[in-house]
Structure 1
Amino acid sequence: MFARVVLVLFLPLCFAKSADVTFKNVTFRGYSLYTEKFKKTIQSSNSLIDHLPETPFDKIEFIDQDIPVLYKGSLADLDDLDELTMENCGISEIQPGALKNVPGLRRLSLKGNKIEEIKEGVFNDLDISTLDLSLNLIKTIHSNAFNDMPNLLNIQLADNQIDRWDKNWFKNTPLLTRVSMQNNSISSLPNDAFKNLVGKKQFGKLKLTINLVLSYNKINKIEPKAFSGLTEINNLWLDNNQLEEFEDGLLEGVDVKDLRLNKNNIRCLDGDLSKIIKAETTHLDSNPFDCECLGNIKEWAKENDKLIEIFFSDMDCSAQRIKTKLVALEKRLKEIKDQDNDIEVAEGKPSTYPLK
């Protein structure tokens, strides 16, 4: 009977879910106006707020700690927090609800962790202006993961494993003007890729202009209406991709300040150059240009007072022209030598050149 009672009491303990604990023997620092105010270690807890001192602070920093999962509620109710940094902490998962009731949070850095997926409900409705998720292992981002972020200005997603662009990202992010997605594996940009970035952007009286950084991806295809709806782009960086062409209708209706197409696989720009080379500066260098085509581009840019960057490509074509002239000169010299030899043989004179 006693054994049966013990078993009945023990079974619930076996099947009970262990409490989620985010912080286990981790150390963090608090700052106010860039000055360190405190340093504390949490032995075991799922709530950061329970371990904060009365000392005023505006920034919390976790660096090089071991925090595999940010569980629901772990970073909740931090009313006075302006900046939160959790870098190189081995974070692999962020549960929806981990960040909750953080009304003053302006900057969030989760750089250098091991995050593989961004779920819906993690960042939605946060008032942050800068989100840094660079140098993670992100491959999957839910279509709604970055929606409803009314104050988001800058998102950093560089150095991840993202292989597709989702045109449904960034709905209701009216201030978003910088998307940094370099060093990923994106292969194409779909039609209406940036539809949720369309519209006038202004912060107070300051006019904001979109910056799209897509350098060092694997982009080989841009659909004809990829940039549809956009009217102005400050920096459009598509360098170090795998583009073989850039159609003349891609930027129809879009004013661009700086366009980078350097280090792709472009051999020629076909079509109406006035619709392609329309930026204040267009970087075309280090593409495998057909030299005749490059010459036409140079001439057109000069006639239309457009700034293009083609230094190394131009040098390659100059080197090819010099090589062609040298080969032709060598051929001509050989012909002259052969003619001299033929004349001397006909006149019975000893040849000054060895016959080959």
Structure 2
Amino acid sequence: MSWLLLGTCLLVVGPAVQGVPGQCPSLCHCHGDLQHVICDNVGLKKIPRVSEVTRLLNLQRNSLGNIPTGAFSESKGLISLHMQHCQLREIGSQAFKGLKKLVYLYLSMNEINSIKPGAFEDLTELTYLYLDGNQISDLAKGIFSPMINLFILQLNDNKLRELRQGTFEGAKDLRWLHMSGNELTTLQPGSLDDVENLAILHLDNNKMSTYPSVAMSKLRVVEELTLGKNPMRTIPDNAFQSFGRYMEKLSLDNMGLEKFSDGAFTGVTAIKSLHLDNNKLKSLPRSLEYGTITNLTLSNNPWSCTCQLAPLRRWMDSSRNRPDAVCASPPQQKGKQVRDSTAMSGCRVKPKRAKKGTRHWPSNVQPSRYLNA
């Protein structure tokens, strides 16, 4: 991610010089013998032509409208392209043709509602793609297929309604997928099969009413999953089993969630952070193991302070983390904190044997790449 910081924190020096490829474009500032061309908020209406030696082109905050075919055909040396806040509405077929060295592409905060087939042709080195804050409602099958090195994809805050099989075909190295704030009602079976090595998956603030068990079943190494603000009432058995030994962070807050199936947390052995606040939960499933949890949020749920919560109470008694959780029943316990309730004092809890072992990563996943991102 240090490359990302380098690409966005460049010095802007030198006078604007009108010219053609080989010279600094009119109204822009250039640095490093045209390697960095900065045209941020200068009133451009068309994409300027830049030299093949240009490595970074910043076109933010200009009214460009669309990206026509071959717009960057003379910019073959680009590594980082910034087009945020450019009032873009469409990405045409072969819009980025020739950009075989591009690593960073920023298209955030535009009005993009159409991405034509072949739009991302030639982007074989692209690693970071930012499409957040647009109007995208549909993704064609294989639209990302040229991006064999794609690592981070930001699609949050669009208008996506569903994911179909083949959407991520070819993007086998994708690790971080952000789709928060869309209108997703379902993930079709097979829609995530091509990106089975996802480590971070954000699906919060969508419209999914059922947990997409089949679509999620091929995922293997998810570390962080957010599903908050989806109207799901239940989480089924084995929901996280395929990646449970890797999952460390799970957010299920603000869902109206009423219950977990008893086996919902089967296979989940490494969870550290679990967010369940602002739901309708009365109890927690027997399959939830507390031994690795260091951050648990439970507030604003109608907890039933009976022996079903005895494992939770036992964990609270032995943990520094004693989260806010108020009893709603039975009547004599109503209003009391779970951690202070005496209702579980006579309950028997069968201790669970701690599971120990070394974490094994697939050869193509490097945990160090996720640090400080």
2:86 corresponds to: 89
Report what 2:104 is aligned to: 107
Alignment of 1:27-38 (within 5 A): 28-30=28-30
1:285 aligns with 2:277: yes
CA RMSD, Structure 1 to Structure 2 (Å): 3.3
Offset of residue 198 of structure 1: 2.4
Distance in 1 (alpha carbons) for counterparts of 2:78 and 2:45: 22
Q: Deviations over 1:187-234 (max 9, x none)?
A: 1222233100125xxxxxxxxx52111111111123432222222111
Tell me, yes or no, if the aligned pair for 1:216 and 1:239 is still in contact at 8 Å.
yes
**What is the 5 A alignment of 1:25-104?**
28-30=28-30, 48-49=48-49, 52=50, 57-104=54-101
Structure 1 pair 108–274 and aligned structure 2 pair: CA distance change class (3 A): closer
Map of 1:191 onto structure 2: 189
User: Which residue pairs with 1:139 in the alignment?
Assistant: 137
Superposed counterparts of 1:323-338, under 5 Å: none
Alignment of 1:165-314 (within 5 A): 165-198=163-196, 210-255=199-244, 256-275=247-266, 278-281=269-272, 282-290=274-282, 293-294=283-284, 301-302=289-290, 306=293, 309-312=296-299, 313=301
When residues 118 and 224 of structure 1 are mapped into structure 2, their CA distance, relative to the original with a 3 A threshold, is same
Q: Is contact 1:32–1:58 with CA below 8 Å preserved after alignment?
A: no
Over 3 Å counting, the alpha-carbon distance change for 1:300 and 1:138 in structure 2 is closer
The change in CA–CA distance for 1:120 and 1:224 in structure 2 (over 3 A counts) is same
TM superposition shift of 1:306: 4.6
CA distance in 1, matches of 2:48, 2:37: 16
Percent of aligned pairs sharing the same letter: 20
Q: Secondary structure at the match of 2:153?
A: strand
For 1:229 and 1:211, the matched residues in 2 are separated by 14
* Aligned counterparts of 2:37 and 2:333: Cα–Cα separation in 1: 72
Residue identity in the other structure for 1:241: N
Q: CA deviation at 1:310?
A: 3.1
Instruction: Give the drift of 1:161.
Output: 0.9
Question: CA 1:39 to 1:284, structure 2 compared with 1: closer, same or farther past 3 Å?
Answer: closer
1:107–1:130 Cα contact (<8 Å) kept: yes
> Given that residues 164 and 191 in structure 2 are in contact (C-alpha distance below 8 angstroms), is that contact kept between their aligned partners in structure 1?
yes
Shift of 1:155: 0.8
Moved more, 224-233 or 278-287: 278-287
| Counterpart amino acid of residue 182 in structure 2 | N
Which residue does 1:159 correspond to in 2? 157
2:183 and 2:256 map into 1 onto residues whose CA distance is 16
Q: Which residue number in structure 1 is paired with residue 328 of structure 2?
A: 320
State how far apart, in whole Å, the 2-side matches of 1:224 and 1:89 are: 38
Amino acid at match of 2:48: L
Shift of 1:68: 1.1
C-alpha distance in structure 2 between counterparts of 1:263 and 1:122, whole Å: 37
Following superposition, the deviation at residue 253 of structure 1 comes to 2.7
Q: Note if contact 1:154-1:176 (Cα within 8 Å) is conserved in structure 2.
A: yes
TM-score by length of 2: 0.67
**Residue identity matched to 2:227:** L
Cα separation, partners in 2 of 1:189 and 1:216, compared to 1, 3 Å: same
Change over 3 Å in CA distance of 1:237–1:57 after alignment to 2: same
| 1:142-174 deviation line (CA, Å, top 9, x unaligned) | 122111311111111111111111231111112
1:233-263: per-residue Cα shift (whole Å, max 9, x none)?
Answer: 1111111211111111222332322222122
SS of residue matched to 2:82: strand
| Displacement of 1:134 | 0.8
Query: What amino acid is aligned across from residue 73 of structure 1 in structure 2?
Result: G
Q: Does 1:129 align with 2:116?
A: no
**Larger Rg computed on CA atoms:** 1
The number of residue pairs the alignment matches comes to 285
**Residue type at the aligned position of 2:189:** N
Larger displacement relative to structure 2 (234-243 or 246-255): 246-255
Q: What SS does structure 2 have at the residue aligned with 1:60?
A: strand
Cα distance change of structure 1 residues 26 and 93 upon mapping to structure 2, 3 Å threshold = farther
Partner of residue 349, structure 1: none
Cα distance, 1:104 vs. partner? Answer: 1.6
**Which structure's residues are more often helix, by fraction?**
1
Q: Secondary structure at the match of 1:84?
A: strand
2:328–2:334 CA contact under 8 A, matched in 1 = no
What is the Cα deviation at residue 79 of structure 1? 2.1
